[in-house]
Each structure stands twice: as structure tokens, then as C-alpha cells.
């Protein structure tokens, strides 16, 4: 079965065509600048060269048509016709409390996703546009919605409720939802598999450290807590997001800088995190280089970043009354040995540490703790597209 995995943003559309039997990526690509000047499609067939097709994309329907054309093209295509695409899996950011697992898309599901738009106004409407565009072009192909929030729906009330008047939860569903759920699910499963154990018998902390970053506590196969909240702004310090701060800072800065609440929100999402702190970059390669060159703010940002990760690990050890496995994943978690080593400095009390030699390995599944450590620390590369493809196949 060939599954087209779609991740649709307001002006972009990322895709992968995955063969579900071999789990091979047949082709992948990205439509950029949809609805703007300079729209283009970057398409890479497996084992082939990247092709860049520059052509106007007034809307997402045109973008989806271009993706299909690229996938079926005589030169750089990977299938003969649309008939060889058996299902589509859509990444949907927010499923609210309505979706605790993936679902086959029908009109009722679309309506329920629309009802979550308020909770993710930048993402859900774009995800829905992607669904509609695919429906127009592939009317008979079954589609599945896979939610970033679904895996975290098992959190108990005590973990998802904020210390706010209960009416905000009743009226607006203000609570912790968590994101990157597909990744936390995939990585915690895979970590157990690598160790030859079942996830149901383990307490696992997954550190998804990418440009957006979140941590989750997975106890006996179920998520019991996670660091992102109503929105992806809460929790860890990220590339450009501030993570946890004193909520009173919003009003304080709004008054001092003469900004609206939305403008402060924008600063907290796009101009903060390690980029805002260091004045260097949100990219950890640049940050690390700057630190080596003696940049004090880059060092401070990296220290604050890893300290926050370590504090969350500690709080999830408390939440689960122990931990068996700590798994690092995503761009930084998979590639940045320095960040892992800096977090590792705080793990003595758990009876584990990080082996410098194993920690030098990049982007692979590897156990980086020492043989006799009480807690296994490991790197498990995430694969959200494959997870979406698997869930799609399971449902269709």
C-alpha cells in the first residue's frame, strides 16, 4: 500500500509517499510560498536528484495537483498514476478533547476539527485546507487524520488542569493538551522495542528537542504528563519560544514596551528562546560554535536550555515515581551530543550518566548511558511521517 503523508501549513505543504510494506520513502517534497509570488515545489524521488519546479500556486488545490503530477511524472515520478496512491494521512495539529486517536476523515470529523480551530488558529485551518484540497483531487482515496495532541489525551486531570477558574475550562476548554504526540508515541514505543521490552512495563521520559521542544512522561505505555500546554509555547526553552515564564511578565512588558498582548505573544513565540537569549541564532550548531568562540550569551542560553530540560526530567521522575528510560529525539536530541552531555551532568542522582564515546554517535539509535547504569539513556531518531503512514494503514 502507498500512503501519501501530508503536513499542510498556511503557505506550505510537506509530503512523503511511503510504501507501507517496505516502509520505504518513495519520494518526498515541499510546496513553498502557496498563494504568493515565487511559489515552487521541491520534489525528491528516492535515490534521485532533487527537482525544483517553479510555477504559480494560487491555492492548496493547485499545490496538491502539482504534487500528484510530480509523483506520477515520467522522469522524476515514482508511481504510474493516482491509482497507486491508496490512502492519505494528514497531520493535524489540534484535536482538542475530541480526538484521543487517529480517525478516518469524513464530514463529521472535518466539522469536529473545525471546532478545534480556536485552540490552534494558525495551524488547524491550514490543515483543513489540505484535507479539502486532497478531497477535490483524490475524491475516492481514503484519508486519515493523525493528531499532534491525541497521544497526550491519556493525561490525568491533575496533570492537564491549570490553576485557573474552572469556568475557563468549562467555557473554553483551557487546559494542557501537549503536542508532538505522534513523536512521543513513536519514540517511546521504539525505545522499548530496542531494549526488547514492552512499553507497558516501563517508565519512559521522551525529550523531543527540535526547533519546537517538549518532554513527556510515558508510564506503562500511556502519556501521564507533557511540557507543552494549551499551545506549544509552554514548557522548555525552545529555538525561538520562551517556554515557561512568570505569566505576569506579559503585562509588564506590554506596559514597558508599549505593545499589545498579541505583540508580546508574538515576541514570546518568534523572538525568544535561545535565539532571543543569545542574540546569536535558534540553530544549535551556531550556538555551540559561538560558545566555543567565547560568546558568553550563547553559553548562558545553552546552560539555561539544558538546565530546564534537566528540571523537567526531575519533575517527571517524581510524577512517575521513577524512570527506566530517558530517550532523546528530534533535530537537537538526535544530533547534538553537547546538549545531551550537559543534560547528563544532572542525572547522577538517578544512578546514570552519559558515556562520552557512545554520545559522539550522531543521528542513530544508540544507548548512551553506561552498561551498569540504573536508568537507560538513549537516542531514538523520530519519524513522524512513518508513524502517520502506519496509523493510516491501520485505519483504512
Nearer to ligand AMP among residue 132 and residue 270 (C-beta): 270
Nearer to ligand AMP among residue 135 and residue 269 (C-beta): 269
Bridge partners (DSSP) listed for residue 25: 18
Residues of span 190-229 touching ligand AMP by CB under 6 A: 210-211
- CB of 330 vs ligand AMP, minimal distance in Å: 4
Nearer to ligand AMP among residue 185 and residue 324 (C-beta): 185
- CB of 191 vs ligand AMP, minimal distance in Å: 17
Closest by CA position to 7, among listed 293, 294, 396, 386: 386
Nearer to ligand AMP among residue 41 and residue 330 (C-beta): 330
Nearer to ligand AMP among residue 9 and residue 210 (C-beta): 210
Q: How far is CA 298 from CA 282, 293, 333, in A?
A: 10, 10, 18
Residues of span 328-367 touching ligand AMP by CB under 6 A: 330-332, 335-336
- CB of 107 vs ligand AMP, minimal distance in Å: 33
- Contact call for residues 15 and 2 (beta carbons, < 8 A): no
- CB of 364 vs ligand AMP, minimal distance in Å: 13
Closest by CA position to 232, among listed 382, 339, 157, 121: 121
Nearest residue to ligand AMP, by Cβ distance, number only: 331
Three-class SS of residue 74?
coil
Nearer to ligand AMP among residue 229 and residue 239 (C-beta): 239
Q: How far apart are CA 203 and CA 376, in angstroms?
A: 11
Residues of span 90-129 touching ligand AMP by CB under 6 A: none
Residues of span 21-50 touching ligand AMP by CB under 6 A: none
Q: How far apart are CA 368 and CA 334, in angstroms?
A: 11
Extract the C-alpha cell encoding 321: 515515581
Three-class SS of residue 363?
coil
- CB of 23 vs ligand AMP, minimal distance in Å: 20
Residues of span 265-304 touching ligand AMP by CB under 6 A: 282-285
Find the catalytic residue in 69, 86, 118, 148. Answer: 148
- CB of 270 vs ligand AMP, minimal distance in Å: 14
Q: How far apart are CA 213 and CA 16, in angstroms?
A: 23
Closest by CA position to 384, among listed 318, 317, 334: 334
Nearer to ligand AMP among residue 96 and residue 239 (C-beta): 239
* Proportion of the chain in helix, strand, coil states, percent, rounded to 5: 40, 20, 40
Catalytic residue list contains 148:
yes
Our finding on whether 239 is near ligand AMP (CB under 6 A) is yes
- Contact call for residues 340 and 368 (beta carbons, < 8 A): yes
Q: For 225, list phi and psi in degrees, rounded to 5.
A: -165, 155
Q: Which residue, chain included where needed, has cell 513513536?
A: 186
Half-sphere exposure of 97 (CA within 13 A, CB side): 12
Bridge partners (DSSP) listed for residue 219: 203, 222
Q: Which residue, chain included where needed, has cell 504568493?
A: 36
- CB of 350 vs ligand AMP, minimal distance in Å: 25
Q: How far is CA 104 from CA 89, 114, 347, 394, in A?
A: 9, 15, 42, 10
Count of beta carbons in the 10 Å neighbourhood of residue 396? 17
Q: Which residues bind ligand AMP (CB under 6 A)?
A: 210-211, 239, 282-285, 330-332, 335-336
Catalytic center residues = 148
Amino acid at each position: 500500500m502507498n500512503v501519501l503523508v501530508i503536513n499542510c501549513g498556511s503557505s506550505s505543504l510537506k509530503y512523503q509517499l511511503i510504501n507501507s510494506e517496505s516502509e520505504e520513502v518513495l519520494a518526498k517534497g515541499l510546496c513553498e510560498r502557496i498563494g504568493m509570488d515565487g511559489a515552487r515545489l521541491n520534489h525528491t524521488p528516492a535515490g534521485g536528484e532533487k527537482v525544483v519546479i517553479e510555477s504559480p500556486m494560487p491555492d492548496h488545490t493547485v499545490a496538491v495537483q502539482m504534487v500528484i503530477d510530480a509523483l506520477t511524472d515520467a522522469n522524476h515520478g515514482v508511481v504510474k498514476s493516482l491509482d497507486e496512491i491508496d490512502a492519505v494521512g494528514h497531520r493535524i495539529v489540534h484535536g482538542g478533547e475530541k480526538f484521543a486517536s487517529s480517525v478516518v476523515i469524513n464530514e463529521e470529523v472535518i466539522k469536529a476539527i473545525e471546532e478545534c480551530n480556536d485552540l490552534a488558529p494558525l495551524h488547524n485551518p491550514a490543515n483543513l485546507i489540505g484535507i479539502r484540497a486532497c478531497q477535490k483531487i483524490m475524491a475516492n482515496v481514503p484519508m486519515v487524520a493523525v493528531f499532534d495532541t491525541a497521544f497526550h489525551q491519556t493525561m490525568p486531570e491533575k496533570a492537564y488542569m491549570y490553576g485557573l477558574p474552572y469556568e475557563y475550562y468549562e467555557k473554553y476548554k483551557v487546559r494542557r493538551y501537549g503536542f508532538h504526540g505522534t513523536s512521543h508515541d513513536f519514540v517511546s514505543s521504539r525505545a522499548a522495542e530496542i531494549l526488547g521490552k514492552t512499553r507497558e512495563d516501563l517508565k519512559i521520559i521522551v525529550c523531543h528537542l527540535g526547533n519546537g521542544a517538549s518532554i513527556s512522561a510515558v508510564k506503562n505505555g500511556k502519556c501521564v504528563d507533557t511540557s507543552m500546554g494549551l499551545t506549544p509555547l509552554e514548557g522548555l526553552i525552545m529555538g525561538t519560544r520562551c517556554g515557561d515564564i512568570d505569566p505576569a511578565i506579559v503585562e509588564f512588558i506590554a506596559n514597558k514596551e508599549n505593545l499589545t498582548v498579541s505583540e508580546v505573544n508574538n515576541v514570546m513565540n518568534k523572538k525568544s528562546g535561545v535565539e532571543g537569549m543569545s542574540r546569536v541564532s535558534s540553530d544549535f550548531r551556531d550556538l555551540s560554535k559561538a560558545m566555543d568562540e567565547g560568546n558568553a550569551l550563547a553559553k548562558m542560553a545553552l546552560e539555561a536550555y539544558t538546565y530546564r530540560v534537566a528540571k523537567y526530567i526531575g519533575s517527571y521522575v517524581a510524577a512517575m515515581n521513577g524512570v527506566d528510560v530517558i530517550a532523546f529525539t528530534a533535530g537537537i536530541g538526535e544530533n547534538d551530543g553537547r546538549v545531551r552531555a550537559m543534560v547528563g551532568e544532572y542525572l547522577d542522582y538517578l544512578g546514570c550518566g552519559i558515556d562520552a564515546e557512545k554520545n559522539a554517535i550522531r543521528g542513530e539509535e544508540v544507548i548512551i548511558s553506561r552498561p551498569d547504569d540504573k536508568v537507560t539513556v538513549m537516542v531514538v531518531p523520530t519519524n513522524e511521517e512513518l508513524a502517520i503512514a502506519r496509523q493510516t494503514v491501520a485505519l483504512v
